[in-house]
Amino acid sequence: MTIFSKIAAGEIPSYKVAESEDFYAFLDINPLAAGHTLVIPRHVEDDYIFNLDHETYAGLWEFAGKVAKAIKAAIPCKRVGVAVLGMEVPHTHIHLVPLQTEGDLDFRKSPKPSFTPEQMAATAAAILSEYEKL
Ligand code: 5GP
């Protein structure tokens, strides 16, 4: 099991943003911006997004699109940016990052913004509330 499988299963805590039977979205613990979210399939055979079977691949992007709409509604931003890296965690995930400028999608950003647990929880709750309206 990967760390992200354990997060999706609730075995490791996370700030949940949205979930469905097959997919899960939660705040990145080291965010580039408030509302930076990771979207994952609950179960993966392969950690490289372009190796996913078609159904999982299409479902993941459809779910991510809904989550992006919820983020846009909850977090003041110009756009929600998308990135797929997977350099660190071997479990397919899509980054959704609320953008004010293109620099907000720079993974080398230093220092990164920091948020209290209360701020993270409030951000996740705001996105989840918008997601549930979709
Ligand atoms: P990547 O694999 O896409 O290069 O980077 C992994 C991302 O997952 C990083 O942005 C990192 O902050 C985030 N991350 C790594 N471990 C955890 C974790 O245990 N919980 C959460 N919420 N995010 C994590």
How does pLDDT run across 75-134, given as a tens digit for each residue? 999 999 999 999 999 999 999 999 999 999 999 999 999 999 999 999 999 999 999 999
CATH code of domain 3-133: 3.30.428.10
Please, what's the b/e burial string for 38-72 (b: 16 or more CB within 10 A of its CB; e: otherwise)? bbbbbebeeeebeebeeebeebbeebbebbbebbb
Atom of ligand 1 nearest to the CA of 32: 10
Q: Where are the domains of the chain?
A: 3-133
Q: Has residue 45 got a pLDDT over 80?
A: no
How does pLDDT run across 7-42, given as a tens digit for each residue? 999 999 999 999 999 999 999 999 999 999 999 999
Q: How far is the CA of 59 from the centre of ligand 1 (A)?
A: 21
* Ligand 1, atom 18, residue with closest C-alpha: 29
